[in-house]
Amino acid sequence: MKCRSVACIWSGTPPSHRVTATAALNHPPTLYTGGSDGSILWWTFSDSDSEIKPIAMLCGHAAPIADLGICYPVSGDGKAENFGNIGANSSLDNGALISACTDGVLCVWSRSSGHCRRRRKLPPWVGSPSIICTLPSNPRYICIGCCFIDSIQLSDLYSFDSVEGDAVSMDKEVQNRKPTKCSVVVVDTYGLTIVQTIFHGNLSIGLLKYMVVVPLGEDREKHSALLVDSFGQLQLVPISKESHQNGEGGNGLHKSSSQPGVAISADELVEGEQYVSLETCGNIIALLLKDRCIFRLLGQW
């Protein structure tokens, strides 16, 4: 489904914009920030000007932005989607912005005009989107990690009044109360259709906070989704190369085989300490804390 063009008239004062997600593109350097009010701001910057300036507000969501990502939509014959004034080759080189909000709406945005070119709402069985990851082997496809948490918890997590301590308390409460239900689906960004469900069930770790797609095996052609909670517990879910049947309908959902959750040893963490971010390079994982970083190898799990 394509969106109609929407004009945005700026008021005299800047809109409030509590950032919940970010994404960046090159050629030219561009920054996108998603907010708790569902807005996405498009920023531009250059070497000649140190000031980062907003140039547009992208309108297509009515709920907090859960995550932003970069995708490369192409058709089945390899032709790139026409995103405004960008040609096929440059579209493949530069990518496009994809956004997901907490109520399950996905949008793909034109790089040149900022218009929404594709929009859809995920089915209820998927859950609430939390994280977007592009598949390294084929950036036309993205992995979306989704959680099943109620509207009150979502409101606490993305509201203006919530502070870090509240989010921590909520995370602990969810962990201690019951297992966290999660789904991970693969979406084709050309038509925003679900082509594969790689996980659907209860995690062996806490509330999903980070997800990255990592290569495994000697040939590095097999990939797995690495799921991480805020307390450093990890779970690997293999990604099959073959698409599952009935991806959209959710029929025959199953819990894919996965490795049990693994926690960092207690002597590496202070009690109550949480991770603030996670980065990967090949089979190396960097778990970032407020004042230090822990490096681990995937082979250690």
Question: 77, 95, 121 — which closes off a domain?
Answer: 121
Q: How confident is the model over 98-140, as pLDDT tens digits?
A: 999 999 999 999 888 888 999 999 999 999 999 999 998 889 9
Question: d(Cα 200, Cα 205) in Å, to the nearest integer?
Answer: 14
Which pLDDT score, from 0 to 100, does residue 9 have?
A: 67
98 and 68 within one domain: yes
**Distance between CA 198 and CA 239 in Å, rounded?**
6
Q: Is residue 94 included in any domain, yes or no?
A: yes
> Does one domain contain both 87 and 31?
yes
Same-domain check for residues 107 and 160: no
Taking Cα atoms as reference points, which of 240, 210, 205 lies closest to residue 226?
210
> Phi-psi category of 114—alpha, beta or left, where left has phi over 0 and alpha has psi -120 to 50?
left
117 in the same domain as 134: no
pLDDT in tens, 61-91: 999 999 999 999 976 555 555 544 444 444 4
Residue 46 in any domain: the answer is yes
Say whether both 98 and 204 belong to one domain. Answer: no
Please indicate, yes or no, if residue 142 is contained in any of the structural domains.
yes
If asked whether residues 215 and 154 sit together in one domain, one would say yes
- Domain extent for 227: 128-256
State the Cα–Cα distance between residues 122 and 193, nearest whole angstrom.
Answer: 9
Domain count, the chain: 2
- pLDDT value at residue 219: 61
Same structural domain for residues 189 and 104? no
296 in a domain, yes or no? no
Same domain, 95 and 162: no
* pTM for the predicted model, two decimal places: 0.79
